[in-house]
Amino acid sequence: MNSARERIIAALEQQAKSEVVAAEVQQLRNRLQRADAHAQGGSSAGEEIVARFRARAQTAGAVVMQAHTPADVPGLLDEYLRAATSVILGEDALVRASGLGETLRGRGDACQVRSVTDADLQRETDDWKHRYASADLGITGAVGGIAESGAVVITSSEYESRSVSLLPHTHVVLLRASDIVPSLPAAATLLRSLIMERGASAVTLIDGPSKTADIEKVLVTGVHGPRTFVIVLITDARDDASTGTRPL
Amino acid sequence: MSTPTPIVPEHFKQLVGERIHDDALRGNIRRATRTSLEKRLAVISDYDDWEELRSLGYDIKRHVIDHLPYYLKKFEHAAAAAGAVVHFATDAAEAREIVHGLAVQRGGPVIVKSKSMTTEEIGLTHALEDAGIRTVETDLGEYIVQLAKEPPSHITAPALHKSRAEIGRLFADMLGIAYTDDPEELTAIARRLLREDFLAADVGISGVNFAIAESGTLCIVENEGNVRLSTGLPKTHIAVMGMEKLLPDMESLGLFLNLLGRSATGQRLTCYTSLITGPRRPNERDGPDEVHIVILDNGRSRMMRDPHLREALFCIRCGACMNVCPVYQSIGGHGYGSVYSGPIGSIITPVFYGEKRSRALPFASSLCGACAEICPVKIDIHHHLLWWRKSMVGSGDAPRSERLMMRIFLAISRRPALFDLAGRIARLFTPLLRDGDGGISVPVWRGSRSFPAPPKKSFKQLWRHHEQRS
């Protein structure tokens, strides 16, 4: 350990209160929980939460679509799929259940289709970043949604790269409506489980397309990340048996 | 790196003088700050008890700062367990040395850097560039001010002082492209050029908005995607954070994200919120091999010691106090001559750069208190400014003439007879100094304000008269 650490900690310990009182922490937690419940108007009816999520995601600039089952997704996204000449797919259960890979590959040479697990997208390969950057469309699954702000939660894993939702021009994310929680504090359990139990190194909340207002407060989308951000809400994900116990 | 020129009254007056009559600049600042304030109002109305959320923000920060060593050690332990390397730096020079050492070993053609006030505070980009390491600011606003060789003028909107035409000319001059003042086109040009750097860099540097003690997680918020690119694509990610950035857990993170986005830019949540916990895991597809976290003291332990400065450690750098400040709106961030501008900047700058060098700043306030009223963590900003004034005057920082005047005033006001006499003399002679506006002109205020003319009779005389009549 370096001496700077010892010096800093020693200086702080002279000033700090000696112990963290568990009751004080609990009191703050309770207040936070009350404030959050109050902020959400006490209502957590599923339909109301989904409606709020949709409205706020749209305010943040997302395109929101609604599918009944994962199998409905390719038809719903037809316009985006036809416009794309290069697509990268995540391999999470929801994306696989949607059959998007089969649909796209069925189109033959018109569209180059890759999966995040393909050899030429791995970090050991030259130009892997460039392949991501030249894709039109990246498709991933989400692990949660936050109604309060309309944000989706995505995570790094064996099946999802960080780059697939960041480097292509358009990002499409599939989200089960049942995974939407009312607020950010209410998402704490999900975040804790992703980070502390599953050990995800990168969990990201996404609220709309990449944007800036650095020039005269004029809103411009697509400054560094995707210009277009599409959320496909799946209202009845349980219809599809292949999602099973929902591994990531 | 220290502030280039000490911000003493003479220098401050010069900075203000250069800006106060610049209508174009003031127009740019007003437009930007007003937009942020209007958007903020619209989204805080989501909550009917915003005040309780602010109070809770204050109480959680106070709890963390009261127990800082506990949370610091807890964070360090969790971050290390997740595979991050944690460094401590007592001052700016140590922090620069750590980052420089890491960058030199890892090489690469360029370092991509995302916006961070803490790295501004320690002058990191300049130090790396001076050492011959090309370091690119990738936030669009920061990219603009880096091209213009200027410091950022606002915590969250670094180029808010520039008009689109100024930015268009800057891009044409510095990048050799045809002039355009279209924000869409300018943004597209920056995207194209910076993409090349993102794909080539081996080292990315970021700041940190919140550090979660329970999990060792770094939380970084942004709208553009450059933070995700800087932290996710290069092999090495170096994060620099002030040690006050800690939060206990994920629940409190939720609260602070709600406070920050709404107060800073009037967004319910910024576009991207990255939660980074250590480097890429072996089974993950991409992400850095190494994550280094540099935890910076640089005067913060002194702030913790001092009850009048401790609250300033609660600051989450939203910039709302700047947007609402009448002084900031008139002179802009550069008018303060310091890295941290606006009301909160005037409290913390003397800590980071020395009291003697920042003497003018606590006085750059009307003490109207709008800053304290808008602060999402209820820092009592204007009272802390007042305390700094008292402390600086008490330690003899006031000019000799002012001290002499105050001593004479003290001597007179303590002696009723003398006070009466002085009042009589003033009432007799001040009509000679009368200006056109019904006040009197006092040379030390240089015509910027006029002093109210004394009444014909003193309060004591009026009172005596009143008693005689009744």
We report the CATH number of the domain holding residue A127 as 3.40.50.10420
In angstroms, rounded to a whole number, what is the distance separating the alpha carbons of residues A143 and A248?
Answer: 8
Cβ contact, residue pair B268, A60, below 8 Å: yes
Cβ contact, residue pair A209, B88, below 8 Å: no
A126 found inside a domain: yes
Determine the average pLDDT of the residues in A57-86. Answer: 96
pLDDT at residue A15, rounded to an integer: 82
| Residues B283 and B164 occupy one common structural domain | yes
Compare all CA atoms of chain A with the CA of B277 and give the residue at the minimum distance: A201
Alpha carbon dihedral B432, B433, B438, B444, in 10-degree steps, equals -170
pLDDT at residue A140, rounded to an integer: 98
Number of Cβ pairs closer than 8 Å across A and B? 289
Compare all CA atoms of chain A with the CA of B163 and give the residue at the minimum distance: A216
- Residue B254 in this model has a pLDDT that exceeds 80: yes
Which backbone phi and psi does B316 adopt, to 5 degrees?
-105, 15
pLDDT at residue A245, rounded to an integer: 43
pLDDT at residue A244, rounded to an integer: 42
pLDDT at residue A70, rounded to an integer: 96
pLDDT at residue B452, rounded to an integer: 75
How far is residue B151 from each of residues B154, B337, B353, measured CA to CA in Å? 9, 10, 16
Of the two residues B223 and B18, the one the predictor is more confident about is: B223
A12 found inside a domain: no
In angstroms, rounded to a whole number, what is the distance separating the alpha carbons of residues A245 and A241?
Answer: 9
A117-153 residues labelled b (16+ CB within 10 A) or e (exposed): eeeebeeeeeebbebbbebbbbbbbbbbbbbbbbbbb
A108 found inside a domain: yes
Please report, for the domain that includes residue B187, its CATH number: 3.40.50.10420
A14 found inside a domain: no
Interface probe, candidates A32, A173, A201, A219, chain B, greatest B C-beta count within 10 A: A201
| Residues B47 and B168 occupy one common structural domain | yes
Nearest-Cα distance to chain B for A215, in Å, is 6
Residue A217, domain extent: 46-243
| Cα-to-chain-centroid distance, residue B372 | 14
- Residue B128 in this model has a pLDDT that exceeds 60: yes
Percent of chain B with pLDDT over 70: 96
DSSP A172: E
In angstroms, rounded to a whole number, what is the distance separating the alpha carbons of residues A39 and A199?
Answer: 31
Interface probe, candidates B251, B257, B305, chain A, greatest A C-beta count within 10 A: B251
Determine the average pLDDT of the residues in A212-233. Answer: 95
The structural domain count of chain B equals: 2
pLDDT at residue B434, rounded to an integer: 74
| Residues B217 and B97 occupy one common structural domain | yes
Taking alpha carbons only, the member of B366, B353, B340, B228 closest to residue B287 is: B228
B253 at the A interface (CB within 8 A)?
Answer: yes
B147 found inside a domain: yes
pLDDT at residue A242, rounded to an integer: 45
| Residues B162 and B51 occupy one common structural domain | yes
Cβ contact, residue pair A224, B194, below 8 Å: yes
Determine the average pLDDT of the residues in B360-387. Answer: 96
| pLDDT tens digits for range A150-170 | 999 999 999 999 999 999 999
Q: What residues are paired with A144 via a beta bridge? A: A153
Cβ contact, residue pair A16, B63, below 8 Å: no
> Which chain A residues contact residue B277 at CB under 8 A?
195, 199-203
pLDDT at residue B445, rounded to an integer: 58
Which of B270, B301, B332 delimits the end of a domain?
B301
- Residue B470 in this model has a pLDDT that exceeds 70: yes
* Residue with the two structure tokens 């568990």: A22
pLDDT at residue B435, rounded to an integer: 72
pLDDT at residue B437, rounded to an integer: 67
Check if the beta carbon of residue B309 is closer than 8 Å to that of residue B384.
Answer: yes
| pLDDT tens digits for range B189-247 | 999 999 999 999 999 999 999 999 999 999 999 999 999 999 999 999 999 999 999 99
- Residue A224 in this model has a pLDDT that exceeds 60: yes
A151 found inside a domain: yes
Cβ contact, residue pair B285, A122, below 8 Å: yes
| Banded pLDDT at B449 (limits 50, 70, 90) | low
Residue B440, domain extent: 404-469
Determine the average pLDDT of the residues in B79-99. Answer: 98
B191 at the A interface (CB within 8 A)?
Answer: yes
B356 found inside a domain: no
Cβ contact, residue pair A214, B191, below 8 Å: no
What number is the ipTM of this complex? 0.94
> Which chain A residues contact residue B61 at CB under 8 A?
none
pLDDT at residue B460, rounded to an integer: 87
- Residue A126 in this model has a pLDDT that exceeds 90: no
- Residue B38 in this model has a pLDDT that exceeds 70: yes
Token representation of residue A174: 């599939």
Nearest-Cα distance to chain A for B101, in Å, is 15
- Per DSSP, the three-state class of A212 is strand
Taking alpha carbons only, the member of B149, B141, B465 closest to residue B319 is: B141
In angstroms, rounded to a whole number, what is the distance separating the alpha carbons of residues B32 and B320?
Answer: 12
> Which chain B residues contact residue A9 at CB under 8 A?
69, 72-73
Percent of chain B with pLDDT over 90: 80
Nearest-Cα distance to chain A for B453, in Å, is 44
| Banded pLDDT at A243 (limits 50, 70, 90) | very low
Check if the beta carbon of residue B128 is closer than 8 Å to that of residue B100.
Answer: yes
The structural domain count of chain A equals: 1
Cβ contact, residue pair A216, B163, below 8 Å: yes
Determine the average pLDDT of the residues in B322-331. Answer: 96
| pLDDT tens digits for range B417-429 | 999 998 888 888 8
pLDDT at residue B93, rounded to an integer: 97
Mean pLDDT across chain B, nearest whole number?
93
B239 found inside a domain: yes
| Banded pLDDT at A69 (limits 50, 70, 90) | very high
B166 at the A interface (CB within 8 A)?
Answer: no
DSSP A196: I
pLDDT at residue B426, rounded to an integer: 84
pLDDT at residue A247, rounded to an integer: 45
A40 found inside a domain: no
Determine the average pLDDT of the residues in B124-145. Answer: 96
Chain B residues 288-307 with a CB less than 8 Å from chain A: 295, 297, 301, 304-305
Give the lowest-confidence range in B53-57, B291-295, B428-432: B428-432
Distant-in-sequence, close-in-space partners of B233: CB < 8 Å, separation ≥ 6: A129, A163, B112, B198, B199, B201, B204, B286
What sign results for the dihedral spanned by CA atoms A147, A148, A150, A155? Answer: negative
Nearest-Cα distance to chain A for B222, in Å, is 9
| Residues B57 and B205 occupy one common structural domain | yes
| Residues B152 and B29 occupy one common structural domain | yes
Which of B301, B328, B348 delimits the end of a domain?
B301
Interface probe, candidates A215, A220, A228, chain B, greatest B C-beta count within 10 A: A215
Check if the beta carbon of residue B282 is closer than 8 Å to that of residue A199.
Answer: no
Using CB atoms within 10 Å of the CB of residue B439, give its burial: 0 to 12 exposed, 13 to 18 middle, 19+ buried. Answer: middle
Determine the average pLDDT of the residues in A170-190. Answer: 96
A180 found inside a domain: yes
